[in-house]
Amino acid sequence: MEEPRKHLLDKFEHYLQQGFERYCTRHGIEQTPGQFITFLIDQDLISLSHLQRFTVLREFERIMDEQHFPKTLAVDTLANRFCISERTVWSILKYAKPAKK
């Protein structure tokens, strides 16, 4: 007997692929990874808050690694770059898990 979680994942994958194919056909676009991400966002499977957290964290890591900014300057830079408050950036950083490299 198939594990319920595996069955759920298989069905999710099937419906996601099927929906993506229809989406591309309906819009006359090629099935690319970029289009797939757009599809996921359009289907509300990836929320704006998740996009924001993911992007802010990766950009913060990049800035700290490449430019060696002080943390406060990096936060200010990201707040301006993404039109969000410094408090939001600090909050994202506070609750973030360290990235795996």
Q: What is the pLDDT of residue 8?
A: 93
Q: What is the pLDDT of residue 96?
A: 81
Q: What is the pLDDT of residue 90?
A: 97
Q: What is the pLDDT of residue 101?
A: 53
Torsion of CA 65, 66, 68, 70, to 10 degrees: -80
* pLDDT score of 2 more than 70: no
> Which amino acid, residue 89?
V
CA distance 69 to 97: 20
* Mean per-residue pLDDT, 51-79: 94
* Mean per-residue pLDDT, 80-88: 96
